[in-house]
Amino acid sequence: MNPLDILAPLGTLLIDVLPLPNYVNKSKGEPLLCEEALVHAKSEYGNYHRHPYIVHFYIAARDTVVNCSVSEEIFLRLEKGQRGNLCHQGGAFYSFE
């Protein structure tokens, strides 16, 4: 029996249960904002088991970029340069229309 056959499911469990510190939602206590935004860039991070999709929205009114983790479906639907109304709470994404 290969030791990796035993350890692989344990590694998957640890990845799914223990969040990575750089992906912790730091938006607790921040207000829910809806503001005009531009899709500035898109990034993919992760591995086989966990694949976060990050969309970087530029908010011209505040001259800032908000990084939101989104689902794969939303990530594929949004195009760089697309403008719309972003609703978010810190880095927590709610909608983009």
pLDDT above 90 covers what percent of the chain? 46
The pLDDT of residue 46 is above 70 = no
| pLDDT for the residue 77 | 95
Kindly give, in sequence order, each residue whose CB lies less than 8 Å from that of residue 72, ignoring residues fewer than 6 positions away: 51, 53
pLDDT digits (tens, 9 = 90+) for 61-85: 999 999 998 988 999 999 999 999 9
Q: Are 54 and 67 in contact (CB under 8 A)?
A: yes
Q: Look at the domain 3-96 and name its fold.
A: OB fold (Dihydrolipoamide Acetyltransferase, E2P) (2.40.50)
For 11, counting Cβ atoms within 10 Å of its Cβ (0-12 exposed, 13-18 middle, 19+ buried), the class is exposed
Smallest CA-to-CA distance from 37 within 88, 89, 77, 74 is with: 88
Segments making up each domain of the chain, as ranges: 3-96
Position 76 scores a pLDDT of: 92
Residue 23's pLDDT band, with cuts at 50, 70 and 90, is: very low
